[in-house]
Amino acid sequence: MRRDLEALLFASDQPLTLDRLAGFFPDVDRKSVREAIDELREEYERDQHAFTIVEFGGGFSISTRPEHATLVKRLFKGRRKQRLSRPALEVLAIIAYKQPVTRLEIEEIRGVAASGVIGTLLERDLVQIVGRAETLGHPLLYGTTKGFLDHIGLRTVGELPQLSELEDLLAEKEELKQLATARGEELGDEDFERADADDGEADEEAEADETVGESEEDVRRAQESS
């Protein structure tokens, strides 16, 4: 069964839940399927594979190990990603942290209409209707989906960072933007993203230079000793 599970996880482009995996093995209970998944993960760890089994988005998936992330990122460098607009990110953040939440509550926080943005998030399977509020008119309540967890790489909503942590990060970015404005320059969110990518490449180059330096030092010592 382990190899069958491996084939399923490898072939799927999204996490597979335990219930769905168990559905492929009618004569096996969920506990046995979970144990087989753990055994596969242990096998990958023991044999030092470049990939492992991760649990996020409400399911399981085969994924490259974190230490290879920078290298793999270079493989996809230059490919355009379909990104959410700033309004969509704002609405998604409100829903994620306040769910279940109504459209009116979202609009009260943002100060602008949100129906169009909510529609976009529904189409992209990032949010869903989770019920109706027990208030006048019984408005729809919105919450995040498993697709949302998959998108950000979390297992549960409880793993979202604390709001205080986000406030500190945003405050730091705003200070940098204000400093740039005072100097007649302009910084946008894309500049911070580019800086993060450059930092990753710089770390790689530094590690390579350090390795070369150590090799040259070894040669020098060998020559002196001879």
Architecture of 86-160 per CATH?
Orthogonal Bundle (1.10)
C-alpha span between 5 and 53 (Å, rounded) = 11
2-75 and 86-160 agree in CATH topology: yes
| Assigned CATH for 2-75 | 1.10.10.10
> What pLDDT digit, counting tens, does each position of 110-134 carry?
888 888 899 889 988 899 999 999 9
Distances (CA, A) of 194 to 87, 117, 202, 206: 21, 26, 12, 18
Q: How do residues 145-171 score in pLDDT, each as one tens digit?
A: 988 888 777 888 888 877 666 656 555
**Domain coordinates of the chain in residue numbers?**
2-75, 86-160, 166-225
Would the pTM of this model clear 0.95, i.e. be above it?
Answer: no
Each residue of 16-26: pLDDT tens digit? 889 989 999 99
Asked whether 19 and 30 are in contact (CB, 8 A), the reply is yes
